[in-house]
Structure 1
C-alpha cells in the first residue's frame, strides 16, 4: 500500500543505500526529516572515511615503492636500519631501540628540570654549591645529545629520499632538539676567545630551547600523533571558537578602554606614579590611565574567567566588565560541546585507522615472507626435477615456477 511516506532503517551502510536509491530511481529528497537527519550526516562520514582510506592506500603504495632499497647487501642493510629506526613494530630489536630512544628523551627532560634548581646555579663568583651533581648532569646531557645526533644522521644516511626526510615535521623537531646544544657550545667558545662579548643571556636562552626534546615523544606515541591529526581535522570548529573569543575580547577591551581612559573629576593626578611600586598597588590607584594593551589583556583574562589585578574604577567600566564576564561563560560553554564531539569523533577514527593499518602491514609482511619462502621451495623442487636447466629457472618468474611444478605433478 502506497502511503507517500519514505523512511529508512538504521542498519547497513549509507553508501550502499545511496546506490540502491539511485538504482531504483528513488529521490532521496523525499525522505522524511526524521530519517534524513541521520542519513545525510552518515553519508558524509562514510564518504570521508572512504576517501581517507583510498588516500592512505595510495600513500602506502608510494611509500613502499620509495622504500624499496633493492636486494643487494647494501640495500638490505639500509632496509634493516631504516625499519629499525622508523618502524618499531618490524622487529624485537626495533622495539628495544624505540624504548631506548624514549628513555633518552625522558632522561634528558629530567636532567633539564634538575639543572634549573637554585643550588646548581653559579653565584656571582662562579661557584656552585653541588659541583659533582652539576658535572654528572652535564655528562648525561652530553651523552644524550650524542645519541640523538647519531640517531638523526644515521636515519638521514639510510633515508630513501634525503630532501623529503629533512622537510618532515618530526625530523625537523629532531634537528631542533640537538641544535641548541651545539649552538651553546659555539657561543661559549666564542665568548672564551673574546670574539664576542658577554653572551650569558643568549646562552641561557639557547639552553632553554633544549626543552624541545620533549616533542620527540610524539614519534613514540601513536596517541599523540592522532591528537595532532585530530587538531588538523577539527580546525573549523576550533577556528569558530577562536573567532568568537577574539571578537568578544576586541569589543569589550575597546569599550573598557574608553570607559577608563578619562580621569575622574576632583582628583589631583599631577604627581607621576612611582614606577618602583608594585603593579597591584599601581592598579588600585584611581589616577592610573589604561592603555589599549592593558585593556586587551584585561578583556582576555576576564572573558576566560581567570581574573586580573587591573579592575575598572568607573560605573560604565564595571558594567562592561560584568557583561564581559557573563558573556565569557556563554561563549566558552556553548561551542565547546560541538568542538568536543567533533574532536572525539576524529580522534576515535584516527586511532581505529592506525590500529587497522598496523594489522594490515603486519599481514602484508607475513604474506610476503610466506610467498618468498614458497617461491624458494618451488625453485628447489624445480631445480631437482629432471629436464630443467638451472640457468633457465633463473629467468623464469615465480608464477611460472608454480605452473611448472603443477604440470609435473599432474603428469606424475
Structure 2
C-alpha cells in the first residue's frame, strides 16, 4: 500500500511538474524541475526557480545552455536524483573541483568511496609542479648572462651548458660519458685497493702467521683440522703503484672539473649551495690532503694524521650521487624517497613497534637463548624483514609460535607501505620521462610557461596583499550571493524589496543584498 501511495504522489507531482532541457558542453540532459529543486541554494535550483528568465535560457531552442564539462555534470545531475555524489575516476580532480564550485556544490558532498581518488589531485598537483621545477628548470640566461651578452659571456654560457646539461649537444653527451667513467673508475679504485692482490708491503713490514680451523665431515664422525698461512697485516701494506696512479688521475680530473665548473658558473654563491657541489668539495679536500701527505713522506703511513685522512677519504664514495645529473631514474628515486618520507616513517614506526613487542615476548619465553631484550631486538628485526640470519633462533614450541606471528606481522607491515612508494615512483618517473623526451624547442617553451606561471602566481599574491593593505573598514560593495548555501547574513528580505521572489524568507532563496566586506 505504501508503494502505491508513493506512485500516486509521484504521478500527481509530475502532473504539475515541468521538464527542463540542459545543454552542457554540447551534450543534452533532460530532467524534472522538482529534481533540480531538491538541493536548495545551488545554481540548478536557481535555474528551476527562475525558469525562462534565467540568463542561460535559449529562447530559440527552448533549452538552457552551459559551456561546462559534460562528463562532470553527469555526476552532478546524478547527485540531484539520488542525493549521492559519486565522481568519475577518469576525470581529474581539479576539473571536478572547478565544476562543483560553479554549480554551487562543495567537495564535502562527495561520497567516501570516491573521496580517495578525488583528493589525490591536490598532492599530485603540488608534487608534479615541484618535479617540473627540478627537471625543467626555468631558463636563467636573462638573469645570469644578461640581455645582450658579450662574446666572452656567450662562450662561458656554452661551456656551462656542456658541463651542466648533458642533453644540449653532442659535446655535452661526450662529457657526461667521460664524467660517468671517471666516477665509476674512482669508486672501483677505492674498493679494489683494499683487496690483498692489489696491495704491496711497505718497507720494513714483516709477515705474520695466520691459523685457520676447518672441519671435514665423514660418514661416522667429524674431523677438525688446522691450516697455517702467512701474510701481511693490512696496516703494513699500501696500494699497488698502478692503483695509486689511477687514484692520482681521478683526483686530478675531479679537481680540474670542479675548478672549471666554478669558473664558468653564472652564480658563484649559488654554485656552493648546490648539494652535488658540496659533495664534490667534501670528496676532494680529504682526498687531496691524503695524496699530499703520501707524496711528502711515502713511508709515514702509520701516523695518526694520515690514518684520519684515509678514513675521511671514504666520503668520496658519495660521488655515486653525481650520476643523478646524468641518469634520470636515479634522480627520480631520490626525489621519490624525499616526497614519500611520511610513508617511509610510518613503515619504520610500525616495524620498530613490532620489534619492541616481539623482542620483549621472546625474552621471557626463551631466556636461555636470548640473554637480554636487546638481543631479541636483533632477532625480531631480521625476522620481521624476512632476512633471517639464523644466528639467534627460538628452540621451543612457544618460541616457534612467536616467530610465526613475528614473520606474519613483518610481511604485512612491508606489504602495506611499500606499494605506496612504488606507485609514487611510477607516477613521477612517467611524468619526468614525458618532460625529458620533449624536443629541445618544446622543452624551452615548457620552461618558459612554467616560469611565467610562477611569475603570475607571485604577481597575483602581491596584488592581493596590496588590496588588503588599501582596504578600509568602511568600504561597502554590492555583492551578489550566487548560492544561498553560503552562510546567511542573518536578515530577512521583504517581498518586493531586494529579493527576486515573492516569498518572504529569502535566506533559503537566491537574493541580492548589500554586504559590508
Which bin holds the TM-score, normalised by the shorter protein?
A: 0.5 to 0.7
Secondary structure of 1:122's aligned partner: strand
Identify if the C-alpha distance between structure 1 residues 160 and 89 changes in structure 2 by more than 3 Å, giving closer, same or farther.
same
On the 8 A contact 1:241/1:335 being kept in 2, the answer is yes
Matches within 5 A, 1:251-330: 251-261=357-367, 290-307=371-388, 308-312=390-394, 317-330=399-412
Q: Which residue of 2 aligns with 1:112?
A: 190
Distance 1:186 1:200 in 2: 10
Matches within 5 A, 1:10-409: 12-31=91-110, 36=115, 38=117, 40-41=118-119, 43-44=121-122, 47-48=125-126, 51-52=129-130, 60=138, 63-68=140-145, 71-123=149-201, 125=204, 134-188=240-294, 197=303, 201-202=307-308, 204-261=310-367, 290-307=371-388, 308-312=390-394, 317-355=399-437, 360-363=442-445
Deviation per residue, 1:196-223 (Å, 9 max, x gap):
8366754553454443333322221121
On the 8 A contact 2:294/2:300 being kept in 1, the answer is no
On the 8 A contact 1:152/1:174 being kept in 2, the answer is yes
Secondary structure of 1:4's aligned partner: helix
Identify if the C-alpha distance between structure 1 residues 84 and 321 changes in structure 2 by more than 3 Å, giving closer, same or farther.
same
Shift in Å, 1:325:
2.5
Distance 1:213 1:53 in 2: 23
Shift in Å, 1:230:
1.2
Shift in Å, 1:233:
1.2
Shift in Å, 1:225:
0.9
Shift in Å, 1:28:
4.5
On the 8 A contact 1:15/1:46 being kept in 2, the answer is no
TM-score w.r.t. the length of structure 2 is 0.55
Identify if the C-alpha distance between structure 1 residues 256 and 123 changes in structure 2 by more than 3 Å, giving closer, same or farther.
farther
Shift in Å, 1:226:
1.3
> After the TM superposition, which of the residue ranges 2-11 and 216-225 deviates more from structure 2?
2-11
On the 8 A contact 1:233/1:346 being kept in 2, the answer is no
Distance 2:341 2:142 in 1: 32
Shift in Å, 1:96:
1.8
Identify if the C-alpha distance between structure 1 residues 87 and 199 changes in structure 2 by more than 3 Å, giving closer, same or farther.
same
Secondary structure of 1:305's aligned partner: coil
Identify if the C-alpha distance between structure 1 residues 292 and 339 changes in structure 2 by more than 3 Å, giving closer, same or farther.
same
On the 8 A contact 2:294/2:301 being kept in 1, the answer is no
Identify if the C-alpha distance between structure 1 residues 60 and 136 changes in structure 2 by more than 3 Å, giving closer, same or farther.
same
Q: Which residue of 2 aligns with 1:375?
A: none
Deviation per residue, 1:114-148 (Å, 9 max, x gap):
4333222224755999x9x9333322221121111
Distance 1:221 1:117 in 2: 29
Distance 1:111 1:147 in 2: 14
Distance 2:347 2:175 in 1: 41
What is the Cα-based RMSD across aligned positions, in Å? 3.9
> After the TM superposition, which of the residue ranges 293-302 and 5-14 deviates more from structure 2?
5-14
Bigger strand share:
2
Bigger helix share:
1
> After the TM superposition, which of the residue ranges 98-107 and 205-214 deviates more from structure 2?
205-214
Q: Which residue of 2 aligns with 1:393?
A: none
On the 8 A contact 1:67/1:79 being kept in 2, the answer is no
Question: Which segments of 5 or more consecutive residues in structure 2 lack a partner in the other structure?
Answer: 1-30, 36-79, 207-230, 449-517
Deviation per residue, 1:219-278 (Å, 9 max, x gap):
2112111111111111121111111111111222233344455x6xxxxxxxxxxxxxxx
Secondary structure of 2:145's aligned partner: coil
Secondary structure of 2:420's aligned partner: helix
Secondary structure of 1:90's aligned partner: coil
On the 8 A contact 1:303/1:324 being kept in 2, the answer is yes
On the 8 A contact 2:135/2:432 being kept in 1, the answer is no
Secondary structure of 1:211's aligned partner: helix
Shift in Å, 1:86:
0.9
Q: Which residue of 2 aligns with 1:4?
A: 81
Distance 1:330 1:49 in 2: 28
In our comparison, the structure showing a higher alpha carbon Rg is 2
Distance 2:278 2:101 in 1: 49
Identify if the C-alpha distance between structure 1 residues 174 and 318 changes in structure 2 by more than 3 Å, giving closer, same or farther.
same
Deviation per residue, 1:167-210 (Å, 9 max, x gap):
21111222233234213224436766969836675455345444
Identify if the C-alpha distance between structure 1 residues 95 and 4 changes in structure 2 by more than 3 Å, giving closer, same or farther.
same
* Higher RCO structure, 1 or 2 (CA under 8 Å, sep 6+): 2
> After the TM superposition, which of the residue ranges 12-21 and 168-177 deviates more from structure 2?
12-21
